[in-house]
Structure 1
């Protein structure tokens, strides 16, 4: 009976993988001592915020991968109640590698992928339900990719059937509806089984699926949802503004990391202050991000 109940749980629970293995090079020196998914955004890290959004789906098991400063991600995962943080050493396994690794370890129930460096307000429940419903149809797509409209990128090309027609500069057609991949995707167990062992680039898997007549579905229903790549100083500030707005606070207010002591007479507006920032008494700070060893002016 115990075996049966565990089996049923395995089948019914959706697995969620938050990708958190990146090096965070665009945010250094802020990320010299802290992995990017753990950078505070007002009141919580992106890893925490993504986990909260995933839990809103319902019956899930949370996973993350880790490489750079992996011990910190593992500790955060334990605190946040993750099923497992999959450490990738000595090399990062790309995007396809972590997916196949989870499948090979016996996890079933489908897999939702999220990024550990993106602030967003997607309706993940609607996305997953739509993906699962399409996959259940005869010859239905076993992979779904959530798209946004971001003209600076928009490398996706989507055919009239709603499926991926190509990725500009990589493969397939350069004609069709333009869109940008949000980093959020869903894979059925059947699709995961087809990822090759040792595969790193998930785009190669999409290409293989297209060649086999199984092109991924591209969900275009949330094109204008909030989606912010917080991998740069400008992106981090945009994420802070979005979080303040979500909390019902003024987007121009100062965000000071707990424990930071400000000198007398300092005034701060539309800025973020992290531990170790150098601040002079009486200084006026506006449109900046500061921390140990850096001062970023944000236009």
Structure 2
């Protein structure tokens, strides 16, 4: 195979439990966010880097992710059955299957506006230095989480409550990371928790580089109703539209006399004639009230 391209893995195997019943029939990475799914939006951002091969993993409602991957031109969607392989497992598998050229990892439930090309260039430049780090992690500043501890050398020194140093600059992992082929080759068979691999790299004197240059970029975990609304608002803003407008999934019929403001309406939503819907997400069998208008937030991974 051609190994001159950068491989990109979008993690899309989550169960979407915080968005049920919306995710009863559609996996979280395929939930529409205004005009496209997060899987689609992440793929677009990855392609902006240049020459890439797109991969995704899938588990819950995997057949839908496989079909979406085909439509979006993915190299492959790796189905994980009967169990999810964590994060480390899919990384090791891509390397074991012979893919080379480095690997960029992204989350399939995060709305963000990172400059991925700048991040990859920075990561590759760090790795090219003598004894340079072969893993790079993109960090944001989110005090609610901020479990990373970054040393004065710009490398990961520890994770609060997990391992390593308790001092250092606090930061939050964005879910975006880069691995050289050499780093991927060191992930052990059966390893699932990528944090354990980072710990091993630190112990071996190869601590991951933490890129702190995009800390104020938009980064939203859309895995909760609040996060989903925040992602919708961010997408509307990106499209130059009013963040308070109604977003209605194509094909949904709205009864006469209905007023909808700052709300998202998905297929199957029950709406009465003359009703006013405001600050809500509605769909088949659910109605969520979402009042906030966050610019940047996460609900945790």
* TM-score, normalisation: structure 2: 0.96
1:261 to 250, 253, 256: 253
Tell me the residue number matched to 2:230.
Answer: 238
Tell me the residue number matched to 2:196.
Answer: 204
How big is the alpha-carbon RMSD for the aligned residues of Structure 1 and Structure 2? 0.4
Runs of 4+ with deviation above 4 angstroms: none
Tell me the SS of whatever aligns to 1:145.
strand
Q: Which structure 2 residues correspond to residues 104-183 of structure 1 after superposition, within 5 A?
A: 104-183=96-175
Matched, 1:277 2:265: no
**How far has the Cα of 1:106 moved from its partner?**
0.1
Matched, 1:62 2:54: yes
Between the aligned partners of 1:32 and 1:173, the Cα distance in structure 2 is 41
**How far has the Cα of 1:279 moved from its partner?**
0.2
Between the aligned partners of 1:295 and 1:149, the Cα distance in structure 2 is 32
Between the aligned partners of 1:67 and 1:28, the Cα distance in structure 2 is 16
**How far has the Cα of 1:110 moved from its partner?**
0.1
**How far has the Cα of 1:97 moved from its partner?**
0.1
Segments of 5+ residues of structure 2 without an aligned counterpart are 292-301
Tell me the SS of whatever aligns to 2:53.
strand
Between the aligned partners of 1:224 and 1:241, the Cα distance in structure 2 is 17
Note the alpha carbon deviations across 1:178-198, whole angstroms, 9 max, x for none. Answer: 000000000000000000010
**How far has the Cα of 1:77 moved from its partner?**
0.0
Between the aligned partners of 1:174 and 1:126, the Cα distance in structure 2 is 29
2:20 to 24, 28, 44: 28
**How far has the Cα of 1:204 moved from its partner?**
0.2
Tell me the residue number matched to 1:50.
Answer: 42
Segments of 5+ residues of structure 1 without an aligned counterpart are 1-5
**How far has the Cα of 1:174 moved from its partner?**
1.0
Tell me the SS of whatever aligns to 1:243.
helix
**How far has the Cα of 1:34 moved from its partner?**
0.4
Higher helix share: 1
Matched, 1:298 2:296: no
Between the aligned partners of 1:197 and 1:125, the Cα distance in structure 2 is 30
1:78 to 70, 74, 89: 70
1:289 to 281, 285, 296: 281
Between the aligned partners of 1:130 and 1:154, the Cα distance in structure 2 is 22
